[in-house]
C-alpha cells in the first residue's frame, strides 16, 4: 500500500513521524512519501517538500503569500498524481490541507484527516468540508467526537499523540546539572518565525526584571542563535531540548499552541501568552468563538492556566503570574491537581498505533 502524508508545520511533522513509524511497524512493506521534516524522514517517509517553507501564519501573512501558497498547492497535486497513492493522510494545517482534500476526493483518492481542523473554535464551514472530502477524521481530543458527529463527519477518537512522544522521552541527567538554587523558568516562544518575533521582546524584558529566577529559552535549531538574542536579556538558550527543559523547570511561560498541553503533561505550572499583529488579532476576535485559546483550558472547559493575550501580555502581568506559581503553594497545587484531571480526561492510549491500525485496516 502507498500513502502520501502532508504535514505543514513542526508539530505536524512530529505527529506524522510517529504515525509513519507505527504504520511501518504494522506493515513493513508500506510505501510512504510526503511533505514534512526530519521526524517524518526518520520514520521512513520520502520527503518531497520541507515544512519550514510552508509556515505562513496570520490572516495578513497568508494574504501576502497567496501566490506562493498556490504554487505549493500545484506542486503537491503534481507529486500526488505522480505517486498515485492508495490514500492521502492530511495532518493538521487546515487552510492548505482541506483544499488538497477537496482536490483528492474529486479524483477518487481516499482521504484521512489526522489532527482535525479546530472547527469547534472558528470557521465551522470546515466541518462540512470534512464531511464531504474525507473518508475518516482521526480526532485527538474526546470532545471533538460528539462535535463532529452532529454534523455527520465520520470520526474516531484515537487518543492524543503527545502522550506517545512524552512516553518515548528519556531525560538527560546531565541537562542543566549545575543549575544552582534559583528556580528554573522555561520560556517557550513558539516554533514559527513570526510568533517567536512577537513573543521575544517581552520575554527578554522579563529576564532582566526578575533576576531571582534562572531563565532558559527553548530554541529551535532552524533559527540562528542571534535570532533569539537580538532583544537582549539574561537567559540560557538551548536548542531542540524542550522536553529536557520541561523535565527540570519549576514554571514556564508558554506561547499558546501545542506546547501549552505538553507543559501540562510534564506537570509544570505555566502562564500562557500570545501576541500577534493588530490586524490578525482584530479579525480573530470577530471569527473565533471560544472562551479560551490554550489547549489546557479548552480540554478542561475552564480556566486552569492564566492566559495573557495581546495587550495583557506585559512584563508586569507575566511576572505577577509567575510569582504566584512559584511562591503561592496553594495556587500552584490547584493548577497541578487540574493537570491530573486533564490527563485522565485525555486517556493514555497509544494514539499513533491506534491511528495507524485504523488507517491500514480501514
For the chain, list the domains and their CATH numbers. Answer: 2-160+348-360 (3.40.50.2000), 184-346 (3.40.50.2000)
**In the block, which residue shows the cell 502522550?**
163
Contact 228, 217 (CB under 8 A): yes
Q: Is the pLDDT of residue 1 over 90?
A: yes
Least confident of 45-54, 126-135, 180-189, 200-209: 45-54
Least confident of 30-44, 69-83, 112-126, 251-265: 112-126
Q: CA-CA distances (angstroms) from residue 273 to 149, 187, 253, 288, 295?
A: 32, 10, 7, 17, 12
**In the block, which residue shows the cell 495532518?**
91
User: Each residue of 46-87: pLDDT tens digit?
Assistant: 999 998 766 655 554 555 556 677 888 999 999 999 999 999
285: pLDDT confidence band, cut at 50, 70 and 90? low
Q: Is the pLDDT of residue 235 over 90?
A: yes
**Residue 351's closest CA among 156, 116, 92, 160?**
160
- The pLDDT assigned to 56 comes to 54
270: pLDDT confidence band, cut at 50, 70 and 90? very high
Higher pLDDT, 71 or 172: 172
Q: Is the dihedral of CA 39, 41, 44, 46 positive or negative?
A: positive
Least confident of 13-22, 139-148, 340-349: 340-349
Least confident of 38-42, 163-167, 231-235: 163-167
Mean pLDDT confidence for 92-115: 95
> At 162, which helix (H) or strand (E)?
helix 161-168
Mean pLDDT confidence for 102-123: 89
Least confident of 87-91, 189-193, 246-250, 263-267: 189-193
Mean pLDDT confidence for 115-128: 81
Higher pLDDT, 337 or 52: 337
- The pLDDT assigned to 74 comes to 94
Contact 30, 360 (CB under 8 A): yes
230: pLDDT confidence band, cut at 50, 70 and 90? very high
- The pLDDT assigned to 293 comes to 80
Q: Is the pLDDT of residue 21 over 70?
A: yes
- The pLDDT assigned to 149 comes to 96
The C-alpha atoms of residue 266 and residue 243 are separated, in whole angstroms, by 8
Helix (H, G, I), strand (E, B) or coil at 30: coil
- The pLDDT assigned to 61 comes to 56
Contact 55, 8 (CB under 8 A): yes
Tell me the CB-side half-sphere exposure of residue 347, using CA atoms within 13 A.
13
Least confident of 29-38, 178-187, 205-214, 217-226: 178-187
214: pLDDT confidence band, cut at 50, 70 and 90? very high
- The pLDDT assigned to 245 comes to 97
- The pLDDT assigned to 37 comes to 92
Least confident of 65-69, 179-183, 322-326: 65-69
- The pLDDT assigned to 44 comes to 96
Contact 139, 156 (CB under 8 A): yes
Least confident of 11-20, 163-172, 235-244, 287-296: 287-296
Mean pLDDT confidence for 272-286: 74
Mean pLDDT confidence for 313-325: 97
**In the block, which residue shows the cell 492530511?**
90
| Mean pLDDT score across all residues of the chain | 91
Amino acid at each position: 500500500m502507498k500513502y502520501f502524508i502532508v504535514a505543514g508545520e513542526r508539530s505536524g511533522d512530529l505527529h506524522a513521524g510517529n504515525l509513519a513509524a507505527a504504520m511501518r511497524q504494522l506493515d513493513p512493506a508500506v510505501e510512504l512519501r510526503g511533505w514534512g521534516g526530519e521526524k517524518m524522514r526518520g520514520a521512513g517517509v520520502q520527503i518531497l517538500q520541507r515544512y519550514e517553507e510552508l509556515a505562513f501564519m496570520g490572516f495578513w501573512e497568508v494574504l501576502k503569500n497567496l501566490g506562493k501558497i498556490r504554487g505549493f498547492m500545484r506542486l503537491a497535486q503534481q507529486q500526488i498524481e505522480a505517486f498515485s497513492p492508495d490514500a492521502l493522510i492530511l495532518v493538521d494545517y487546515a487552510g492548505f490541507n482541506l483544499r488538497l482534500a477537496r482536490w483528492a476526493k474529486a479524483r477518487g483518492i481516499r482521504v484521512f484527516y489526522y489532527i482535525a481542523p479546530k472547527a469547534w473554535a472558528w470557521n465551522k464551514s470546515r466541518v462540512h468540508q470534512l464531511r464531504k472530502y474525507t473518508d475518516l477524521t482521526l480526532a485527538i481530543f474526546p470532545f471533538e467526537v460528539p462535535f463532529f458527529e452532529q454534523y455527520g463527519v465520520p470520526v474516531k477518537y484515537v487518543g492524543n499523540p503527545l502522550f506517545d512522544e512524552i512516553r518515548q522521552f528519556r531525560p538527560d541527567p546531565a541537562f542543566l546539572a549545575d543549575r544552582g538554587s534559583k528556580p528554573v523558568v522555561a520560556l517557550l516562544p513558539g516554533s514559527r518565525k513570526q510568533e517567536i518575533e512577537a513573543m521575544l521582546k517581552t520575554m527578554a524584558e522579563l529576564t532582566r526584571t526578575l533576576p531571582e529566577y534562572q531563565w532558559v529559552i527553548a530554541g529551535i535549531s532552524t533559527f540562528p542563535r542571534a535570532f533569539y538574542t537580538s532583544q537582549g536579556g539574561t537567559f540560557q538558550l538551548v536548542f531542540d531540548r524542550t522536553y529536557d527543559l520541561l523535565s527540570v523547570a519549576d514554571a514556564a511561560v508558554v506561547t499558546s499552541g501545542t506546547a501549552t498541553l505538553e507543559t501540562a503533561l510534564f506537570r509544570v505550572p505555566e502562564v500562557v501568552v500570545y501576541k500577534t499583529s493588530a490586524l490578525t488579532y482584530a479579525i480573530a476576535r470577530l471569527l473565533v468563538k471560544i472562551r479560551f485559546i490554550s489547549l489546557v483550558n479548552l480540554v478542561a472547559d475552564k480556566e486552569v492556566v492564566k492566559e495573557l493575550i495581546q495587550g495583557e501580555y506585559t512584563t508586569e502581568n507575566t511576572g505577577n503570574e509567575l510569582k504566584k506559581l512559584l511562591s503561592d503553594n496553594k495556587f500552584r497545587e490547584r493548577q497541578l491537581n487540574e493537570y491530573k484531571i486533564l490527563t485522565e480526561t485525555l486517556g493514555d492510549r497509544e494514539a499513533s498505533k491506534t491511528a495507524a491500525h485504523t488507517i491500514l485496516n480501514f
